[in-house]
Structure 1
Amino acid sequence: MTKILMIATNVDQLDSDHQTGLWLSDFVEPATEFKEAGFEVVAASLKGGRIPIDPHSYSNELPRVWDGVMEPIHNTPLLSEIDPSEFEVVFLCGGHGAMMDFPNNKTIEHVLRHFLTKKKIIASVGHGAAGLIGVTDHNGEAIVKGRTMTGFTDAEEKETGIEGLLPFTIEEKLQAEGAGFEGDNPDKDHVEVDEHFITGQNPRSSLSTAQAVIKKLRKPQPQ
């Protein structure tokens, strides 16, 4: 069975007044699509354990179908203990928490380099693209350089009202590392596919990003 590795943040606070974490739909919607397509989903995190959920990303009335899908984020293994060779896709989930623990992380870089070398799918949605920041290939080049990508836009960040709490914005950092950044209007469903890189702009793009991953997986590869 094809296995998909989904990486989620462990960060639950931006400061003493602002809770954060995983944006729930950035995990649940793709995970649901992957499972319904017959793929196995494994969630992991840098510190392991239960993944914190951004309180703004859910209500008290969650769809019942999400119950089983959420199970992998109740007790995640350490990403450092995951063998990336077992997976065909790595999917970086969003939420403002990812802005704090994903960038410039050596464990994430190790995982992504495997997928880069093997030309396996590297996907992200929203703030999950922060995991691509600071990652270089074996030649020391930023892996996003020359790629057409998207992620949470500066315009969307300003609308959150917490831009000042963040170390950077996704749009500015991807551009600084050489990516061609393409963003749609705030809250629009927007996905970019550049070879084996698949990126979604925001939570509204979670489902479309997963569908693009599935389409890529099922496309016959040249011999």
Structure 2
Amino acid sequence: MAPKVLVILTSQAVIPANNHPSGWFLPEFAHPFDVLTGKVDLTVASPKGGEAPLDPGSIKFAENDASSVKFLQEQKSLWENTVKLADVLPKAAEFDAIFYVGGHGPMFDLTNDPESIALIEKFDAAKKPIAAVCHGPAALLQAKTSSGQPLIQGVEVTGLSNAEEDLIGTTPVMPFLLETELEKLSGKYVKTEPFGNKVVVSPSGNGTSIITGQNPASGTGVGEEILKALGL
């Protein structure tokens, strides 16, 4: 029986400061999907359920990426019919790993979402892999271990760097800078050059595998590490 992976997408459709369309980032789901499909069963959830907003800018960004174009054309049912986090929370024990797709959206809803935080804490307590890419690690910031310490305290992590946020031009409209907060909490934030591939796997204080990727280029590697953590 294939392992079950819970994929979490944002429900945040705009950046509040400028009302610019936002959401989850296409290649950060498409590339891990290519790695995981056929090997695991995927369930996709979001805070509000229903259609999770795909950042239109990410469609333009990935227009020459065959994997993303194919995913966009063939897999719409994955993000058009997501399960509500409140409905999936009681079933957390049924899943073997959890994965947070990036995009700017998670910075606004998943950082503070109580159901999302509770899910992460359940996965950590059960020592089941927790993965996130690009802005996805924002979802880890408020989670705690069963002993009450921050989940990522002392854990080597990555996520979109401040330099990358600057290059995208979105620093002024972000609620916080992800690199700054990850470093503040973990003391072990790491990165590579802007938009280069960087994936980190590090145990939480409880021994749970925490898998993080820096940016869109890191999606494939995050998918591969999820498979490794599941023994596949």
TM range (shorter): over 0.9
**Counterpart-to-counterpart distance in 1, 2:154 and 2:10:** 27
Question: Which residue of the partner structure matches residue 49 of structure 1?
Answer: 50
Question: Which residue of the partner structure matches residue 25 of structure 1?
Answer: 27
> What amino acid is aligned across from residue 100 of structure 2 in structure 1?
L
Compute the displacement of 1:64 (Å).
Answer: 3.1
- 2:160 and 2:179 in contact (8 A); partners too: yes
Question: Which residue of the partner structure matches residue 206 of structure 2?
Answer: none
The answer on 1:64 being equivalent to 2:70 is yes
Offset from partner CA, 1:1-33 (integer Å, 9 cap, x none): 211000000111113441111001111211221
Instruction: Provide the secondary structure at the position in 1 that maps to 2:200.
Output: strand
Provide closer, same or farther for how the CA distance between residues 213 and 179 of structure 1 changes in structure 2, counting only shifts above 3 A.
farther
Q: TM-score, normalised by structure 2?
A: 0.89
Question: Which residue of the partner structure matches residue 40 of structure 2?
Answer: 39
Provide closer, same or farther for how the CA distance between residues 78 and 179 of structure 1 changes in structure 2, counting only shifts above 3 A.
farther
Question: Which residue of the partner structure matches residue 210 of structure 2?
Answer: 197
Gaps of 5+ in 2: 204-208
**Counterpart-to-counterpart distance in 2, 1:188 and 1:63:** 21
Compute the displacement of 1:68 (Å).
Answer: 3.5
Compute the displacement of 1:138 (Å).
Answer: 2.3
Q: TM-score, normalised by structure 1?
A: 0.92
Instruction: Provide the secondary structure at the position in 2 that maps to 1:73.
Output: helix
Q: How does 1:149-168 map to 2 (within 5 A)?
A: 149-168=157-176
**Counterpart-to-counterpart distance in 2, 1:109 and 1:64:** 32
The answer on 1:75 being equivalent to 2:81 is yes
Q: How does 1:67-146 map to 2 (within 5 A)?
A: 67-82=73-88, 83-146=91-154
Question: Which residue of the partner structure matches residue 180 of structure 2?
Answer: 172
Instruction: Provide the secondary structure at the position in 2 that maps to 1:130.
Output: helix
Gaps of 5+ in 1: none
**Counterpart-to-counterpart distance in 2, 1:94 and 1:70:** 17
**Counterpart-to-counterpart distance in 2, 1:39 and 1:22:** 21
Instruction: Provide the secondary structure at the position in 2 that maps to 1:214.
Output: helix
Alpha-carbon RMSD across the aligned residues, in angstroms, is: 1.6
Number of aligned residues: 218
Provide closer, same or farther for how the CA distance between residues 215 and 66 of structure 1 changes in structure 2, counting only shifts above 3 A.
farther
Offset from partner CA, 1:153-208 (integer Å, 9 cap, x none): 01101111111111111111111213410010101010001130110000110011
- Residue range with higher mean Cα deviation, 132-141 or 166-175: 132-141
Question: Which residue of the partner structure matches residue 147 of structure 1?
Answer: 155
**Counterpart-to-counterpart distance in 2, 1:64 and 1:136:** 37
**Counterpart-to-counterpart distance in 1, 2:130 and 2:104:** 20
- 1:32 and 1:69 in contact (8 A); partners too: no
- Residue range with higher mean Cα deviation, 56-65 or 96-105: 56-65
- 1:92 and 1:128 in contact (8 A); partners too: yes
Offset from partner CA, 1:124-163 (integer Å, 9 cap, x none): 0000001001111222210000100000001101111111
**Counterpart-to-counterpart distance in 1, 2:70 and 2:220:** 18
